[in-house]
Amino acid sequence: MDEVLLRSLTPGVLAVLVRRGADFAAAEDAVQDALVEAVRVWPAEPPRDAKGWLVTVAWRKFLDAARADTARRRREDLVDEEPAPGPAPTTDDTLQLYFLCAHPSLTPSSAVALTLRAVGGLTTRQIAQAYLVPEATMAQRISRAKRTVSGIRFDQPGDVATVLRVLYLVFNEGYSGDVDLAAEAIRLTRQLAAAIDHPEVSGLLALMLLHHARRAARTASDGSLVTLAEQDRGLWDTAMIAEGVGILQAALVRDRLGEFQAQAAIAALHADAPVAGETDWVQIVEWYDELVRLTDSPVVRLNRAVAVGEADGPRAGLAALAELDDSIPRHTAVAAYLHERDGDIALAARLYAEAAHQAPNLAERAHLTRQAARLNARL
């Protein structure tokens, strides 16, 4: 049984059912039933048109459930409308599923879970493992999300920016359990890029590829974090970098700059430097200025302070940092780094220790603790 094929067909089949009038929750249940039937039947009797087979079986499953549910009279009108078996429609409604799963009425975590289930074709167990939560908890989250979007019209225009943010959230979850969410996000974004011609979709895909290309160099053999400046650039995936840069360049020439394109441009400048010392920090600051103009995000301003510290010296970086609220996540870690570069080792050591207590995960906490210990050993 080709699990990759089933996962790739799932969103299109679900979209057909919703387009025909099934509410999202009922359609998703019917598609899951059809997938179970496919696993049982296909090894002995593989269909000529896999998607058409799944659409036919899923629609029948939906109608069976509708007939059994006498309380839902609205669905009874659909019983006499069963299309004859045949090739699946050529219209690809997958894009609408992205918009539905990224509906503003959903919380970010629910939108991500529903996207992975409906568009990504992952099981509830796989999503739960990726998020390190009990399967029952994830099942409840997905069920609530399905109920939320069930009454939403399928033909309403969607917000591309919201879809892209959900996909970026998926990407930033990285790897956990038996599902590589970073790779899954790239797969889904490629799918979205094939369905919609939008420079920011290309920008996000380029950004993901450029970040993912450095993955093998991000951790040492003992699992500890390796900073960008200290990474072995020989471990970077040059083919993936080249693909990301090519996609970015094609997006930038359209002169419709967005935040993901700007972030990808920064990542490309890092990837272009053969060694950390040759990084074009002046250009990176210019791109951060564009990002500030586009988003005015405190996190972007924090990253800009680091870039200013590299381009114009640590004192300039500290001056930029002084303009920001010190409650921004990782503000203390940035202050520690800039004070170390400025030569104030004692203050930097203390700030690294403080930043370790504020770290959002164990790997980052361990890294910052090591930085504090390294500086304390010099005092």
Neighbour tally for 367: CB within 10 Å: 19
Residue 78 confidence (pLDDT): 52
Per residue in 197-223, pLDDT (tens digit) is 999 999 999 999 999 999 999 999 988
**How much of the chain, in percent, has pLDDT values that exceed 70?**
90
Reported as a pLDDT band with limits 50, 70 and 90, residue 122 is: confident
Cβ–Cβ < 8 Å for 287, 303: no
Q: For 186, what's the count of Cα atoms within 13 Å in the CB-facing half-sphere?
A: 17
Q: Which residues of 311-347 are buried (b: 16+ CB within 10 A; e: fewer)?
A: beebebbbebbeebeeeeebbbbbbbbbbbbbebeee
Torsion sign across C-alpha atoms 195, 201, 206, 212: negative
Q: Report the distance separating Cα 320 and Cα 306, nearest Å.
A: 9
* Nearest residue to 206 (alpha-carbon basis) of 137, 152, 253: 253
Reported as a pLDDT band with limits 50, 70 and 90, residue 177 is: low
Q: How far apart are the first and last CA of the chain?
A: 62
Residue 74 confidence (pLDDT): 54
Q: What is the mean pLDDT of residues 110-137?
A: 84
Torsion sign across C-alpha atoms 183, 261, 334, 283: positive
Q: What is the mean pLDDT of residues 256-277?
A: 97
Average pLDDT value for the chain: 88
Does residue 272 have a pLDDT over 60? yes
Per residue in 23-49, pLDDT (tens digit) is 888 888 899 899 989 989 999 888 999
Q: What is the mean pLDDT of residues 369-376?
A: 97
Neighbour tally for 88: CB within 10 Å: 17
Q: Report the distance separating Cα 243 and Cα 230, nearest Å.
A: 24
DSSP 216: G
- In the chain, where the domains are located: 1-92, 93-196, 329-379
Per residue in 299-340, pLDDT (tens digit) is 999 999 999 999 999 999 999 999 999 999 999 999 999 999
For residue 225, the Cα-to-chain-centroid distance in whole angstroms is 21
* Nearest residue to 348 (alpha-carbon basis) of 311, 327, 318: 318
Q: Report the distance separating Cα 9 and Cα 346, nearest Å.
A: 58
Radius of gyration, alpha carbons of the chain: 24
Does residue 358 have a pLDDT over 70? yes
Per residue in 55-98, pLDDT (tens digit) is 999 999 999 888 876 544 554 455 545 555 555 444 456 677 88
